Structure 1
Amino acid sequence: MTDGIEFDRSGEVATLTLARPGKKNAVSYSMWSAIPEIIADVEADARVKVLLLTGAGGDFSAGADIGEFADLRSTAEGAAAYDKAVEGAVRALSGMRKPSVAMIRGNCIGGGCQLSVASDFRFAEHGARFGITPAKLGIVYDFTSTRALVALVGPANARYFLLSGQLVDATRAREIGLVNDVFAPEELQTATMEFVRTLCSRSQASIRGMNRIIEKILAGQQESDAEVERIRREAVHGADYAEGVAAFLQRRPPRFTYR
């Protein structure tokens, strides 16, 4: 496993931990580069239903490791290669069919916030801070991540983040839709894992099909297409649909089998 990343599986949940607490979990080039392979592994593992992202210690991540920039981004070619690694990680995460949940403590800034936005859900502690700071570095945020941010918080709030580089607290982040919910520090893990278990209990055929359709909508698609109709057709003829209806009629919890 790459230095700075811890990865483990526990039952139906895989956990990717950004693990450089001495540097507030700053994301190195090697960490960005490793994320797509980890996500591909999660997607391929039939046992895993949800990916949890978090940070070691008191922070989610303070962002990309700027200490590497002098060496890795000092030329146009180097900057392009670095950006390709970042975009590859973001695209892999945002393109997952299985749901991803970011559990956020402390700083969630820059590249850390970028990873959280690429996740499907974000739960934070009251003490968390959020910001995206390219304007402090003379960097222009990439198109994919900008589009995702605008879709999540709207153009006015996206401009606030990107153009000012200022930080907001967790309460404000929830108000604008950047996070789904905020909890006391001692309640965050319990609340997050309760939601993760809820996702695990739902039809995975439904979850993955709808995640794909949402991805297409966010990419600008306006109408249904052959892939969407295939996803919906396969769902209605699948075992999960039959089980879901039967469980509802029999007033019992469903036992979904799709993997």
Structure 2
Amino acid sequence: MTAGLELTRTGNVARLTFTRPDKHNAISFDMWSAIPDIVTEVEDDPSVTALVVTGEGANFSAGADIAEFGELRSTADGAALYDKAVHAAVTALADMVTPSVALIRGNCIGGGCQISVACDFRFAAEGARFGITPAKLGIVYDYTSTHQLVSLVGPANARYFLLSGNLVSAGRAREMGLVNDVYPDGEVDAAVEDFVATLATRSQTSVRGMNRIIGKIATGQNEPDDEIERLRRDAIHGADYAEGVAAFLERRKPRFTHHH
């Protein structure tokens, strides 16, 4: 595993942890570059029902490791190569059909916030702080990540984050639509555990299929395509549909099998 990242597994839940607490979990070029393969590993395992992304210690991530910028982003070609790695990581996370949940404490800033926005859900501890800060560095934010942010919080809030570079509290982030929910620090782990346990009880055919469709809508697709029609058709003929209907009629909880 790449230095600064740790992938673990507990039951049906995979966990990707940033492990540079002494650097506020700053994300290095090597860490950005490793994320797509980690995502592929999680996606290829049909028994994984959720990926939790979090940071070791007090912070989620304070952002890209700017200490590397002098060397890696000192030329236009170097900046383009760096941006390509960031774009690949963010796209891989956003395109997952396995649900992804960012569990956030402390600073979730810059590239750290970029990662959290690429996840499907964001749950934060009360002391968390959010900000996206390219305007402090003379950088124009990546199109894909800007699109994801606008889709999540709307143009007015996206402008607030990007043009000001100001940090906002967890409560304000929830009001702006950036965060799904906020919990006292001591309760956020249990809340995420409960949520991913709920996801695991649902039909994975439904969860993955609907997550794929939402992803297509979020990137601007306005009409169903052959893939969407196939997902819906296969679901109707699948074991989960038969079990879901039978369970409803028999007034019991469904017992779905985990599969793609």
SS of structure 2 residue aligned to 1:199: helix
Mind listing any 5+ residue stretches in structure 2 that lack a counterpart?
none
* Equivalent residue, structure 1, for 2:60: 60
Question: In structure 1, what is the equivalent of residue 138 of structure 2?
Answer: 138
Q: Secondary structure at the match of 2:256?
A: coil
Residue 226 of structure 1 and its aligned partner are, at CA, apart by 1.4
- How many residue pairs match? The answer is 259
1:236 maps to 236
Per the alignment, residue 128 of structure 2 pairs with 128
Alignment correspondent of 2:11: 11
Contact 1:239 1:258 in 2 (8 A): no
Question: Normalised by the size of structure 2, how large is the TM-score?
Answer: 0.99
TM-score, normalised via structure 1 length: 0.99
- The amino acid that maps onto 1:174 is R
Q: What is the CA deviation profile of residues 36-71 of structure 1, one whole-angstrom value per residue up to 9, with x for unaligned ones?
A: 000100001122111000000000000000000000
Mean CA deviation greater in 213-222 or 21-30: 213-222
Runs of 4 or more above 3 Å deviation: none
- Counterparts of 2:194 and 2:238, CA distance in 1: 27
2:174 matched residue in structure 1:
174
SS in 2 for 1:101: strand
Find the counterpart in structure 1 of residue 188 from structure 2.
188
**SS in structure 2 of the partner of residue 51 of structure 1:** strand
What is the one-letter code of the residue matched to 1:247? A
Query: 2-side partners of 1:165 and 1:210: how far apart?
Result: 33
Deviations 1:171-230 (A, max 9, x none): 000001100000000001001110010011111000110111111111111111211111
Q: Which residue of 1 aligns with 2:44?
A: 44
Instruction: Report the Cα distance in structure 2 between the residues aligned to 1:189 and 1:67, rounded to whole angstroms.
Output: 31
- Give the direction of change, closer, same or farther, for the CA distance of 1:258–1:47 in structure 2 (3 Å limit): closer
C-alpha deviation, 1:258, in angstroms: 4.0
- Inter-partner Cα distance in structure 2 for 1:216 and 1:65: 31
Is the CA contact 1:110–1:133 (under 8 Å) kept in the aligned structure 2? Answer: yes
Instruction: Check the 8 A contact 2:47/2:258 in 1, yes or no.
Output: no
Aligned to 1:111: 111
AA matched with 1:197? A
Over the aligned positions, Cα root-mean-square deviation in angstroms equals: 0.6
Query: Structure 1, residues 57-92: CA drift from partner, whole Å, max 9, x if none?
Result: 000000000000000000011000000000000000
Taking the aligned partners of 2:258 and 2:237, their CA distance within structure 1 comes to 12
Moved more, 209-218 or 117-126: 209-218
SS of residue matched to 1:46: coil
Secondary structure class of the residue paired with 2:116: helix
CA positional deviation for 1:250: 1.0
Q: Secondary structure at the match of 2:185?
A: coil
Query: Which residue matches 1:22?
Result: 22
User: Given residue 129 of structure 1, which amino acid in structure 2 is its aligned partner?
Assistant: R
Q: For 2:53 and 2:19, locate their aligned partners in 1 and report how far apart those are by CA, in whole Å.
A: 11
- For residue 14 of structure 1, report the CA deviation from its aligned partner: 0.3
Give the counterpart letter for 1:246 in structure 2. Answer: A
| CA distance in 1 between partners of 2:225 and 2:41 (Å) | 28
- Whole-Å Cα distance in 2 between the matches of residues 207 and 19 of structure 1? 30
CA contact (8 A) 2:62 2:108 kept: yes
